[in-house]
Amino acid sequence: MVMTRKLYLDGCSMTYGKGLERRESLGSLFRDIGGYRVYDQSRPAKSNAAIAVDTYNHYSDYDVFVLGFTYSSRFGLGYQDQNINFYSGFHGKGLGLEPQELDLASTEVHKYFYTVFAPPWSEQFSDMLIDGLISFLIRQNKTVLSFSWELRSTSNKLLYPYIGPRHRLPDGHLNAEGMHVLFNYLQNQLNE
């Protein structure tokens, strides 16, 4: 009897496949072509902090971890069942969260957050989270494949996939062909 390996996937909109049909997402490709049972926790605007927390909360349930780390300027908080994403292009608009007091508080925090959350500290913080998480997963005997869209300074190896302009949507996210390029690149790395 062949056991299907369980794969945990996490990352930002580049991993999620923003602008694509869900059947074209990286998670779907790992399931449909790769043959994994996939749990996809990626989402648009997700920060490295949120990726680290979510991955840590699920480490005992999965064999293989594919982690697409994002830009260090992003930060995330959790409040009850709400994900609060901070990113520099947000510009203090309402988050659309309930209750409205949480939405207003998040907007106020964002106004001031980026006056103090900046390089080099934000970059060092992301590097520390990434290194700590990968080292922890390796100690748990997990298969870990990590890549980043931003050059990092980590002691653990990260992959830096190059996906050219013809494989991208006008907003810079991967198009369906680009997602296949990313999947093939990652799947080849897993098979080595």
| Domain definitions of the chain by residue range | 6-72+123-191
Q: Are the CB atoms for 29 and 71 separated by under 8 Å?
A: no
Enclosing H/E stretch for 68: strand 64-69
Structure confidence by residue, pLDDT tens digits, 41-91: 999 989 999 999 999 999 999 999 999 999 998 888 787 787 777 776 654
- What is the fold of 6-72+123-191? Rossmann fold (3.40.50)
- Long-range (24+ apart) CB contacts under 8 A made by 15-18 are 15/42, 15/68, 16/40, 16/42, 16/43, 16/44, 16/46, 17/173, 17/174, 17/179, 18/44, 18/171, 18/173
Structure confidence by residue, pLDDT tens digits, 121-160: 889 999 999 999 999 999 999 999 999 999 999 999 999 9
Q: How confident is the model at residue 101 (pLDDT cuts 50, 70, 90)?
A: low
Answer whether 0.85 is exceeded by the pTM.
yes
